Amino acid sequence: MKSLLSLLLFLAMPVCAGPFIVAHRGASGEAPENTLPAFRLAWEQKADAIEGDFHLTSDGKIVCFHDSNTKKLTGRNLTLSKSTFAELQTLDAGSWKDKKFSGTRIPSLKEVLATVPPKKKIYIEIKCGPEIVTPLLKVVSASGLVDEQIVVISFDEKVVKGVKKERPDWTVNWLYGFNKSTGNAPDRELPRLLSVLKTIRADGLGSSAHPDLRSKHLQTLSGAGFQHHVWTVNDPAVARRFWKMGCRSITTDFPGRLRRELEK
């Protein structure tokens, strides 16, 4: 019954006429990545979805941060998996971007989910291992978001397989970064990628924007029952090419600017 209700609610959502734009770590080109200001700005800029990176803390909380330690952006070197949520809350995660973001904190998954408006989506990138799956299910279930608003993504095959097993109604995509310096990489690697996607029962592939990716590759994925999503694209010409090829979503640091350019 819950699944049917979620589906009916989602079917009532308006269809996006243009490309489906995902804000990479929020509107991270203009606000500190993976913070509430970045996510709120993304919604103001009419992003269709936000994407954030998530880790499990030592006390079982889920926090939004890219690296496994905090040194690069906060100036203090704390390992997320070995730190409590309270300890991480003492860090300034915004000043590195601009003084006006001074005092911005590392948000919890609960806080990030609370920013997601009705009829919008969140792409939850898991940066740690399968140990996060059970806490993740609990937090998302308590958020009030419907299944169709949730997309889980990960480079870790075990995470994808684990989440899909527990929540078959969620969209769960496997991430893969093509080496841009390797010519014709999609031709050579696609057979193996298809095999992995089938084995872990993923819904799709989220990939980097390799210049040799072509319509034929996306058609092969689609023919096998898999979506294709691309990251991280800030060049309108590249975004337009992937949109025309049938890519399901385009992840960008500048959601507002990219949409304006694509609507010209």
Domain membership of residue 89 as a residue range? 2-262
Q: Which pLDDT tens digit goes with each residue over 62-114?
A: 999 999 999 999 999 999 999 999 999 999 999 999 999 999 999 999 999 99
Tell me whether residue 66 is one of the annotated catalytic residues.
Answer: yes
The answer to whether 187 touches 46, Cβ cutoff 8 Å, is no
Provide the domain count of the chain. 1
Strand 49-56 with 227-231, pairing: unpaired
Q: How confident is the model at residue 1 (pLDDT cuts 50, 70, 90)?
A: very low
Q: How confident is the model at residue 254 (pLDDT cuts 50, 70, 90)?
A: very high
Among residues 55, 66, 210, 228, the one annotated as catalytic is 66
Question: What pTM was computed for the model?
Answer: 0.93
Rounded Cα distance between 143 and 165, Å, is: 20
We report the CATH number of the domain holding residue 158 as 3.20.20.190
Rounded Cα distance between 185 and 3, Å, is: 39
